[in-house]
């Protein structure tokens, strides 16, 4: 983990995350300023703003979630949603060479003779997860600070919604850390692993969009396809932000299971292969 | 009571294929505990494959390799007991030498503070104490080889595999590494793969000669080089008293290669030690005023390998 954070790639990623946090804050500030100008000094009742937030989150997820999240500061939920978009890419960038790089240069020979290969793979998956979670925390902290300084949310709101959204992002990352380590274990060439990971993640994204489209079509004939969603980590984001605790727990369990399952598969592959 | 291990390594009927190529074909040999054993052979003979199977890096397609009575891939059982200096594995470029060695020490079960102590000790042993904070990627080839050797000897493992430990090194560093390896002799089972036959003849007690994926000869160095059965004397002057030499009791054959100026004396049935025979032959030669340039026991590993391999 320390190696990742200290490497040129880790530093660049860290800088990108902070820039991302800065950009997110700037975009939010710009939207807020535009809204203020459009209102031309007129005070908008909080209830109207809440209704607007509800409509937005209902559109993104569903009515229950919309109603639940309408009471939260917009910036934290928007940041969470934005974070989910780039977590797969960032996790892949951080981790694609973790196993493939060691196989390519045979550095794994120094470690494989001393520790079980499954332990090495699990350690690397955890390291990827921890690094991305720490970088996410840096990004989220930046936004919390700006939000507090600008007075866009109270301290209580920030402490209530901010860490929660970061924790959900971190849980979401677990699934992608596992899939990244799986992609990395499939080839001896980091660049190929990167392509494999990109193909894997793109396929999941296409599947997720397809499930959404089928859901929107509301056609009984294709209803079965919606069950494919259960096999896609992205599908569980709606459960993560659900007002129902059982769904939140279900999302956490499933996303962690994705991470553990794919890491176990990577361990099996590395265990079977010649190094 | 724990049963004593007779063989540190047993390779039993191992076959390994890479696609259509058979790298090892039903290979078997044993290595006694505490021995210094050489794996010898030309390029493509299967040395590195055999080595990698013993280290657990490769799966044999048939047969098995036992290390300290355990399957070579039983990492849990062999943790800290088996180590390797791989020939072509790069050190992690971004880690410092200290971090790398401490990490490996911890992986093999040496606890926190002691891990650093052991790592520093291993690095000191290869004369690399000053490199602790250097990045592995910044080390020269010779320095990297020594760091590789330090990690191989970390925590005093029982079996150490050294794959081409002096390959690509200048003679001075190669000599220093040979000295380091010799210092370890007797303290653990050493298995060395090398192209440098003089080096192996100098260091090893026993060896297996491989060719085209087969073991073509195996045994003690003395057996392999026929050191107890043959002497070779390079002479600077002739004629030689061949009849007098052949008349020495115990000598079965004596030949003189005029071109090479080498006198070969064979004594397969001689019951005494080779040194006694050397004394008798030298006495005859000196009595005949023959000038002697050099003398060697046996035919030398290099000649033996040339005879046995294509």
Residue A47 — very low, low, confident or very high, per pLDDT cuts 50/70/90?
confident
CA distances from B36 to A138, A272, B14, B52 (A): 55, 31, 21, 18
* A81 CB-side CA count, 13 A: 13
For residue B88, name the pLDDT band (cuts at 50, 70, 90): confident
Choose from A48-57, A246-255, B224-233 the range with maximum mean pLDDT. Answer: A246-255
What is the band of B63 on the pLDDT scale with cuts at 50, 70, 90?
very high
For A107, the closest of B55, B82, B89 (CB atoms) is B89
pLDDT for res B57: 94
- Which residue in the block uniquely carries the two structure tokens 């020979």? A109
Strand pairing report for B21-32 and B70-71: unpaired
- Contact (Cβ atoms closer than 8 angstroms) between residue A260 and residue A121: no
Q: Which residue has the tokens 């690399």?
A: B128
Please compute the mean of the pLDDT values over residues B171-181 and round it to a whole number.
Answer: 88
Q: Is the pLDDT confidence value at B55 over 90?
A: yes
The pLDDT confidence band at residue A30, using thresholds 50, 70 and 90, is confident
Among residues of chain B, what percentage have pLDDT more than 70? Answer: 98
Q: What is the pLDDT of residue B53?
A: 95
Averaged over A239-247, what is the pLDDT?
A: 94
pLDDT of residue B274: 85
Q: What is the DSSP letter of B169?
A: -
Question: Closest-CA residue in chain B for A118?
Answer: B75
What is the C-alpha separation between A181 and B290, in angstroms, rounded? 73
**pLDDT value at B17 more than 90:** yes
Predicted pLDDT at A37: 72
Residue that has been written with the tokens 């008349």 in this structure:
B247
Q: Which two tokens stand for residue B303?
A: 């000649």
Q: Specify the pLDDT at position A107.
A: 95
The two structure tokens encoding residue A223: 């209803």
pTM (two decimals): 0.83
Phi, psi of B293 (to 5 degrees): -95, -40
Question: What pLDDT band is residue A269 in, cutting at 50, 70 and 90?
Answer: very high
A224 touches chain B (CB under 8 A): no
The residue in chain B having the minimum alpha-carbon distance to the alpha carbon of residue A111 is B104
State chain A's mean pLDDT as an integer: 89
Instruction: Give residue A28's pLDDT band: very low, low, confident or very high (50, 70, 90).
Output: confident
Q: State whether residue A11 sits within 8 Å of chain B by CB.
A: no
* Three-state secondary-structure class, residue B45: coil
Res B236 pLDDT > 70? yes
By the CB < 8 Å criterion, does B107 face chain A? yes
Q: How many CB pairs under 8 A join A and B?
A: 61
When mean pLDDT is compared across A11-25, B53-67, B92-106, B159-173, the lowest value belongs to A11-25
What is the predicted pLDDT for the residue at A6? Answer: 64
pLDDT at position B4 over 60: no
Q: Averaged over B261-277, what is the pLDDT?
A: 88
pLDDT of residue A1: 62
> Which residue, among A1, A114, A124, A274, would best test binding to B if mutated, counting the most B CBs under 10 Å from its CB?
A114
- Chain B contact present for A117, CB below 8 A: yes
pLDDT above 60: residue B272: yes
- Mark which residues 52-81 of B lie under 8 Å from A by CB: 52, 55-59, 75-76, 78-80
More confident residue, B293 or B112: B293
Interface of A with B in 154-173 (CB under 8 A): none
Read off the pLDDT of each residue in B294-308 and give the average, rounded to a whole number.
Answer: 83
Contact by Cβ (8 Å): A141, A55:
no
Task: Assign B288 a pLDDT band (cuts: 50, 70, 90).
Answer: very high
Rounded mean pLDDT, A184-210: 96
* B-chain residues near A6 (CB < 8 A): 94
pLDDT (average), residues A180-202: 97
* Position with higher pLDDT, A50 vs A103: A103
Q: Does A12 touch chain B (CB under 8 A)?
A: no
Report the pLDDT value the prediction gives residue B3, as an integer from 0 to 100.
Answer: 52
B2 pLDDT higher than 70: no
- Helices marked H in A107-189: 108-112, 117-150, 155-186
- Whether the per-residue pLDDT at A4 is higher than 70: the answer is no
Q: Given the DSSP bridges, would you call strands B82-85 and B159-163 parallel, antiparallel or unpaired?
A: parallel
For the residues A80-98, what does the mean pLDDT come to? 92
What is the spatial distance between Cα B174 and Cα A169, in angstroms, rounded to a whole number? 54
C-alpha distance from B248 to closest chain A C-alpha (Å): 55
Closest-CA residue of chain B to A275:
B57
The pLDDT of residue B1 is above 90: no
Q: Does B132 touch chain A (CB under 8 A)?
A: no
- Cα A171 from Cα A240, distance rounded (Å): 9
pLDDT of residue A3: 63
Q: Name the 3-class secondary structure at B257.
A: strand
- Asked if the ipTM is above 0.90, the reply is no
> Would the CB atoms of A109 and B55 count as touching at under 8 Å?
yes
pLDDT per position as a tens digit, B188-213: 999 999 888 888 888 999 999 999 99
Q: Which residue has the tokens 């000038």?
A: B291
Closest to B232 measured CA to CA, from B269, B289, B278, B301: B278
């Amino acid at each position: 983990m320390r190696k990742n954070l200290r490497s040129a790639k880790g530093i660049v990623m860290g800088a990108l995350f902070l820039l991302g946090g800065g950009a997110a804050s700037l975009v939010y500030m710009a939207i807020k300023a535009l809204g203020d100008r459009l209102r031309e000094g007129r005070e908008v009742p909080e209830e109207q703003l809440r209704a607007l937030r509800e409509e937005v989150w209902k559109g993104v997820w569903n009515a229950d979630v919309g109603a639940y999240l309408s009471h939260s500061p917009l910036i934290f939920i928007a940041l969470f949603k934005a974070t989910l978009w780039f977590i797969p890419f960032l996790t892949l960038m951080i981790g694609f060479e973790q196993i493939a790089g060691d196989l390519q240069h045979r550095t794994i020979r120094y470690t494989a003779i001393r520790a079980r290969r499954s332990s090495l793979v699990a350690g690397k998956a955890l390291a990827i997860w921890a690094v991305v979670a720490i970088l996410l925390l840096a990004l989220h902290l930046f936004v919390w600070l700006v939000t507090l300084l600008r007075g866009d949310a109270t301290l209580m709101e920030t402490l209530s919604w901010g860490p929660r959204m970061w924790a959900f992002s971190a849980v979401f990352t677990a699934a992608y850390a596992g899939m990244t380590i799986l992609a990395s274990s499939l080839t001896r060439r980091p660049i190929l692993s990167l392509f494999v990971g990109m193909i894997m993640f793109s396929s999941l994204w296409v599947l997720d969009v397809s499930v959404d489209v089928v859901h929107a079509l509301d056609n009984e004939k294709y209803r079965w396809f919606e069950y494919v969603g259960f096999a896609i980590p992205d599908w569980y984001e709606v459960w993560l932000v659900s007002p129902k605790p059982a769904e939140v727990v279900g999302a956490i369990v499933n996303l962690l299971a994705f991470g553990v399952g794919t890491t176990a598969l990577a361990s099996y592959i590395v265990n079977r292969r010649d190094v | 009571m724990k049963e004593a291990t007779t063989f540190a390594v047993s390779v039993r009927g191992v076959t390994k294929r890479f696609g259509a190529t058979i790298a090892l074909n039903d290979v078997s040999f044993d290595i006694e505990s505490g021995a210094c054993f050489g794996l010898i052979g030309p390029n493509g003979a299967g040395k590195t494959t055999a080595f990698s199977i013993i280290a657990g890096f490769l799966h044999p397609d048939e047969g098995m390799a036992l290390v300290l009575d355990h399957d070579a891939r039983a990492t849990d059982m062999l943790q800290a007991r088996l180590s390797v200096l791989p020939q072509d594995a790069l050190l992690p470029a971004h880690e410092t030498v200290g971090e790398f060695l401490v990490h490996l020490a911890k992986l093999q079960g040496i606890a926190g503070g002691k891990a650093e102590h052991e790592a520093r000790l291993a690095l000191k042993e290869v004369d690399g104490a000053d490199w602790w904070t250097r990045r592995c990627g910044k080390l020269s080839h010779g320095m990297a080889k020594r760091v590789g050797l330090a990690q191989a000897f970390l925590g005093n493992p029982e079996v150490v595999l050294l794959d081409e430990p002096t390959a690509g090194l200048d003679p001075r560093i190669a000599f220093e590494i040979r000295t380091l390896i010799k210092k370890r002799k007797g303290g653990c089972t050493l298995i060395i793969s090398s192209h440098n036959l003089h080096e192996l003849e100098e260091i090893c007690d026993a060896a297996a000669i491989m060719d085209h994926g087969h073991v073509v000869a195996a045994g003690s160095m003395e057996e392999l080089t026929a050191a107890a059965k043959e002497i070779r004397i390079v002479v600077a002057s002739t004629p030689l008293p061949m009849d007098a030499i052949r008349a020495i009791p115990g000598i079965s054959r004596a030949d003189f290669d005029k071109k090479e100026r080498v006198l070969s004396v064979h004594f397969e049935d001689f019951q005494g030690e080779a040194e006694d025979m050397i004394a008798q032959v030298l006495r005859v030669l000196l009595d005949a005023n023959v000038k002697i340039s050099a003398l060697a026991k046996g035919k030398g590993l290099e000649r033996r390998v040339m005879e046995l391999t294509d």
